[in-house]
Structure 1
Amino acid sequence: MNPATKVSTVLIVTLSFLCLVEGLTCNVCDLADKARCKKGKSRCTAQRGQSCASISTYIGSKHVSSKQLCMPNCVENNYKEKGKSIFVMCCERNLCNSF
Structure 2
Amino acid sequence: MDKRFLLVFSLFCCIEAVTLLKCITCHLRMKSDRCRRGYGVCLAQRDESCMLLRIYKDYALQLSYMVCQRFCRNLTFTFSNRTYIHHCCEADYCNKR
* Fold shared, TM-score > 0.5 on shorter chain: yes
Bigger Cα Rg: 1
Tell me the equivalent position of 1:68.
Answer: 66
- In structure 2, the CA distance between the partners of 1:98 and 1:38, relative to structure 1 (3 Å rule), is same
**1:86 Cα deviation (Å)?**
0.2
How has the CA–CA distance of structure 1 residues 46 and 54 changed in structure 2, closer, same or farther, with 3 Å as cutoff? same
Show the 5 A alignment for 1:38-49.
38-49=36-47
- Distance between the aligned counterparts of 1:94 and 1:83, measured in 2? 33
Query: Among residues 26, 29, 32, which one is paired with 2:26 in the alignment?
Result: 29
C-alpha distance in 1 between matches for 2:78 and 2:93: 27
Q: Does 1:59 align with 2:57?
A: yes
Note the residue ranges of structure 1 that are not aligned, 5 or more in a row.
1-13
* Corresponding position of 1:20: 16
Tell me the alpha carbon deviations over residues 37-72 of structure 1, each in whole angstroms, 9 at most, x when there is no partner: 111101111010000000000001110000000001
Q: Distance in 1 between matches of 2:70 and 2:78?
A: 21
Match of 2:93, SS state, is coil
Residue-pair matches, total: 85
TM-score, normalization by structure 1: 0.77
Question: How large is the RMSD of aligned CA atoms in angstroms?
Answer: 1.8
How much has 1:21 moved relative to structure 2?
2.3
Change (3 A) 1:30 1:95: same
Alpha-carbon distance between aligned partners in 1 of 2:14 and 2:33, rounded to the nearest angstrom: 32
